Structure 1
Amino acid sequence: MIDPVKIWPDNRGQHIQAHGGAIIDVDGTFYWFGEDRSPDNEPGTCPVACYASKDLMNWEFRGKVFDGRNPANIEGLWQIERPKVFHCKATGKFVMYLHLDGQVPGHWSRYRRAEVGVAICDTIDGKYEWLRSFRPLGKESRDIGQFIDDDGQAYLIFECRPEGGFHIARLSGDYLDVAESVAFIKSPIEGGAIVKYDGLYYCLGSLLTGWWPNANQYATAEKLEGPWSEFRDVAPPETLTYGSQSTYLLKVVGSETTTVIYMGDVWRPYELSDSRYLWYPLQIGGGEMALKPFEGWMPGPWEIDVGTGVTRIASAPR
């Protein structure tokens, strides 16, 4: 069972440390990458952890695949957030994108560099080697997301604060660079996530309130380049998306149905290692997307059969 907002133990019995993360499916195994906020991390590091699962409910720790030892040699405060891993079929490599940020001379904030970092590995759960950091297309990049279209094309989603919105950008053929922006959506959204369902694109994001939850919103488009609809609330606004912030939309295509799972982070900014996860199947179709629990105010336990795509809410009738 997946029990939202509760401690989620891995195969070692330890709370999963994969915050701000995403999932890719490789040969029938799901791999979950995210920020490792463990309190016993080596000081001055921002590691990325990898977990593997066959059923999306039980997760095996595969290790800290990126050690995050100040790879860009930033002087002063720095930060790595929201790792996303792509599998480049053309090269066979696994490519990790990260939001890399840090101080610049004359500024106190650790969020002034606004870059992406790139690391690479021959295997999905091996040790990723740092390549470089840069501003995609010369633009500021803060929260990042990833999207793989039905045709296999890979895209990076990145928020650009000076432009007041976010880009959906196509990656280069080897996935090591950002080739072009195919859409710019002028809306104050971060934590961007996209899914294509029944021929329609759905884009979900969080408003700009830092660590604090808000009413996440979504828009739709028939083409990735738009035009995109106005943004609407994905959950009752008074719930502040049940205290969570979007990080990824996971589509599970089963033999009986296709399920889209909302993946959100429930941040605990004063104790980030104790931050939780809110995963829940979305009601989606016909241009509508909703995060609604079966009963009560907070989504309860549920399970999924990844073979059929069928979900069952614990309190729902069989």
Structure 2
Amino acid sequence: MTTRSTIAPGQPWLDTAGNRIHAHGGSIITVDGVHYWYGENKERSTPGSGIWHWGVRCYSSTDLVAWEDRGLIVPPELDDPDSPLHPGQLADRPHIVFNPETRKFVCWIKVMTRGSVQRSTVLTADSILGPYTLVRSWLRPLGMSAGDFDLVVDPHDGKGYYYFERVHSEMICADLTDDFTDVTGYYSTHFPQPQPPFVREAPAHFARDGQHYLLTSGTTGYYPNPSEAAVSPSYHGPFTVLGDLHPSDRSRTSFHSQISSVFKHPGKRDLYIALADRWLPRYLEHGDRAHRAFVEHFAPGRDGDEPMEELAEVDTSLADYVWLPIEFEGRRPVIRWRDEWSPDEYEDA
């Protein structure tokens, strides 16, 4: 087995045991100098299986390149079909933050229903690797249908914030309670849109030079679309839209990927990494035909909920990752394609 020495966006990524990594819709948290990459385990989510997820899997690394499988930190609940953690439930995009007051790791997971309502599940643990205890299930924060989200902890005062897509409507920033397991009721609204695909989803927050950035995508299911950056002087806005994150990508698909989170490397100077999923690797095989169908389907005036011609089989067990460093032109973040790269290229902090 050949051990990878660089990050190769869009190429199959294997762990140190030679198995495909399954940490989709994922994020990285650093604990005591070790990086932990966690996300949706899609190893059994093959077409026709009826399995949406097989828990939350976690990997550890000290260099962001070689990843050791640390197992399921949130296993699936097999015996209760009504549990939000049952493999048939549409649970995805876990986010974990550390609460400096309670000394707990707090995990939120989005759970879609077969209708339009999306809810949240919250778990806590004493260790990043678990075990995690369920503390809230089927939560509707602020009484809203809460979709894709990100959790943020202010590094100065330890206050928590929850960015989420109010499904098919707008983006919400809500203050978290002191224990990070619920919202307080204070919130702000951003980027209102009438319908998909224009509604923004998949928020990924990061802060730099006193500014707050929010990266989002349009709502087009598993099909990729242009990501967008916005900046604000505070968590609650107002946000100024800065435009397409991938201006050199002529396909207008964010290099055929969707960003799930941004990781600020604590040991490198100004290294921000956009972690993205390439949900449909086979989509690239259809080239211009797929892009034309995408543009025609989501043209202004069309109903974004109409069925789209299926141009690629959805097999999330084969999804790949597109990790790329963020560059800055003034205060505007920009992502450019690189066939391979290494965090070692960046200066130590």
TM-score (norm 1): 0.86
Cα 1:5–1:76 shift into 2, 3 Å: closer
Amino acid corresponding to residue 221 of structure 2 in structure 1: G
Q: Provide the rounded CA distance (Å) in 2 between the counterparts of 1:127 and 1:58.
A: 24
Q: Provide the rounded CA distance (Å) in 2 between the counterparts of 1:143 and 1:250.
A: 17
* Residue 234 of structure 1, CA deviation: 0.4
1:263-282 aligned within 5 A: 263-268=275-280, 270-282=314-326
Cα 1:5–1:232 shift into 2, 3 Å: same
Cα 1:111–1:5 shift into 2, 3 Å: farther
Q: Provide the rounded CA distance (Å) in 1 between the counterparts of 2:136 and 2:320.
A: 30
Q: Secondary structure at the match of 2:110?
A: strand
Q: Provide the rounded CA distance (Å) in 1 between the counterparts of 2:101 and 2:155.
A: 16
Calculate percent identity across the aligned residue pairs. 30
Match of 1:25 among 12, 21, 30: 30
- Conserved? CA contact 1:198–1:285, under 8 Å: no
* Residue 244 of structure 1, CA deviation: 0.5
Q: What residue number does 1:130 align with?
A: 134
1:131-150 aligned within 5 A: 131-133=135-137, 134-150=139-155
Q: Provide the rounded CA distance (Å) in 2 between the counterparts of 1:153 and 1:285.
A: 30
Q: What residue number does 1:73 align with?
A: 83
Q: What residue number does 1:101 align with?
A: 112
Q: Provide the rounded CA distance (Å) in 2 between the counterparts of 1:209 and 1:219.
A: 20
1:205-220 aligned within 5 A: 205-220=216-231
Q: Provide the rounded CA distance (Å) in 2 between the counterparts of 1:309 and 1:19.
A: 28
Q: What residue number does 2:290 align with?
A: none
- Conserved? CA contact 2:45–2:317, under 8 Å: no
Amino acid corresponding to residue 173 of structure 1 in structure 2: D
What RMSD over aligned residues (CA atoms) do the two structures have, in Å? 2.4
Cα 1:242–1:89 shift into 2, 3 Å: same
- Conserved? CA contact 1:197–1:285, under 8 Å: no
Q: What residue number does 1:10 align with?
A: 15
Q: Secondary structure at the match of 2:241?
A: coil
* Residue 149 of structure 1, CA deviation: 2.7
TM-score (norm 2): 0.78
Q: Provide the rounded CA distance (Å) in 2 between the counterparts of 1:292 and 1:76.
A: 36
Amino acid corresponding to residue 126 of structure 1 in structure 2: G
The worse-fitting range, judged by mean Cα deviation, of 130-139 and 144-153 is: 144-153
The worse-fitting range, judged by mean Cα deviation, of 17-26 and 41-50 is: 41-50
Q: Provide the rounded CA distance (Å) in 1 between the counterparts of 2:235 and 2:61.
A: 30
Q: Provide the rounded CA distance (Å) in 2 between the counterparts of 1:181 and 1:39.
A: 39
Consecutive unaligned residues in structure 1, runs of 5 or more:
103-109, 294-298, 311-318
Point out 4+ residue stretches in structure 1 off by more than 4 angstroms.
Answer: 40-45, 74-77
Q: Provide the rounded CA distance (Å) in 2 between the counterparts of 1:225 and 1:278.
A: 29
- Conserved? CA contact 1:253–1:309, under 8 Å: no
Match of 1:92 among 91, 100, 103: 103
* Residue 61 of structure 1, CA deviation: 0.8
Q: Provide the rounded CA distance (Å) in 1 between the counterparts of 2:178 and 2:329.
A: 32
The worse-fitting range, judged by mean Cα deviation, of 31-40 and 69-78 is: 69-78
Q: Secondary structure at the match of 2:254?
A: helix
Consecutive unaligned residues in structure 2, runs of 5 or more:
1-5, 193-198, 281-312
Q: What residue number does 1:238 align with?
A: 250
Q: What residue number does 1:227 align with?
A: 238
Amino acid corresponding to residue 14 of structure 1 in structure 2: N
Cα 1:65–1:198 shift into 2, 3 Å: same
The worse-fitting range, judged by mean Cα deviation, of 69-78 and 214-223 is: 69-78
Q: What residue number does 2:309 align with?
A: none
Q: Secondary structure at the match of 2:342?
A: strand
* Residue 58 of structure 1, CA deviation: 1.2
* Residue 154 of structure 1, CA deviation: 2.3
- Conserved? CA contact 1:92–1:122, under 8 Å: yes
Residue 162 of structure 2 is aligned to residue 161 of structure 1: no
1:5-50 residue CA offsets vs partner (Å, 9 max, x unmatched): 1111112111110000111111111111100000289975541101
Amino acid corresponding to residue 18 of structure 1 in structure 2: A
* Residue 175 of structure 1, CA deviation: 1.2
Q: Secondary structure at the match of 2:147?
A: coil
Amino acid corresponding to residue 287 of structure 1 in structure 2: R
1:212-240 residue CA offsets vs partner (Å, 9 max, x unmatched): 00010011111222111125100125331
Residue 271 of structure 2 is aligned to residue 259 of structure 1: yes
Q: Secondary structure at the match of 1:143?
A: strand
Match of 1:48 among 56, 74, 77: 56
Q: Secondary structure at the match of 2:142?
A: helix
Cα 1:198–1:71 shift into 2, 3 Å: farther
Q: What residue number does 1:292 align with?
A: 336
- Conserved? CA contact 1:149–1:196, under 8 Å: no
Q: Provide the rounded CA distance (Å) in 2 between the counterparts of 1:308 and 1:111.
A: 48
* Residue 72 of structure 1, CA deviation: 4.9
